Amino acid sequence: MEKTLIILKPDAVQRGLIGEITSRFEKKGLQIVGMKLMTIPASIAEQHYAPHKGKPFYEGLVRFMTCSPVVVLALAGKDAIVIARKMMGATFGSKAEPGTIRGDYGVSNAYNLIHGSDSPEAATKELGLFFKADELQTWKPTI
């Protein structure tokens, strides 16, 4: 079972979209195996976005991601990484297709609501940055 790291960014939390967005993943059949509300420390945001260091938007991105709480989700399922990214839509709200999370809930490019790991390597690194091992659950439906 593949796992991916999703961040509902400060704009998603401030706009009251935690339930709407999380519900889409649940209905799709991706299993929530980790979930918490947190304010990201600058050092974690810098590590998370290290591949973008030096780009013109990097400092603003780190400021944005640390400005107020986010929700971090660990989702599990077959092909969870690709499925979650399809559901998120294109990076920029202005370009994202209707029917996707970014396409349905925003037009902003910088405030694009959600992050999802883009590869198995990134997912392993990002899950490790945001969750301790004992914060991830392994569970099966029983009722």
Residues of the binding site for ATP: 9, 57, 85, 91, 102, 112
For the bound state, the minimum distance from the C-beta of residue 61 to ligand CMP, rounded and expressed in Å, comes to 5
Size of the site for ligand CMP (CB under 6 A): 8
Write each residue from 48 to 67 as x if it is in contact with ligand CMP (CB under 6 A), else as -, in one continuous string: ----x----x---x------
Active site residue 115: yes
Kindly tell me which residue out of 12, 34, 106, 115 binds ligand CMP, with binding defined by CB under 6 A.
115
Q: Does 100 bind ligand CMP (CB under 6 A)?
A: no
Q: According to the 3-state scheme, what is the secondary structure of the chain?
A: CEEEEEEECHHHHHCCCHHHHHHHHHHHCCEEEEEEEECCCHHHHHHHCHHHCCCCCHHHHHHHHCCCCEEEEEEEECCHHHHHHHHHCCCCCCCCCECEHHHHHCCCCCCCCEEECCCHHHHHHHHHHHCCHHHCCCCCCCC
Q: Does 94 bind ligand CMP (CB under 6 A)?
A: no
* Catalytic positions, written as ranges: 115
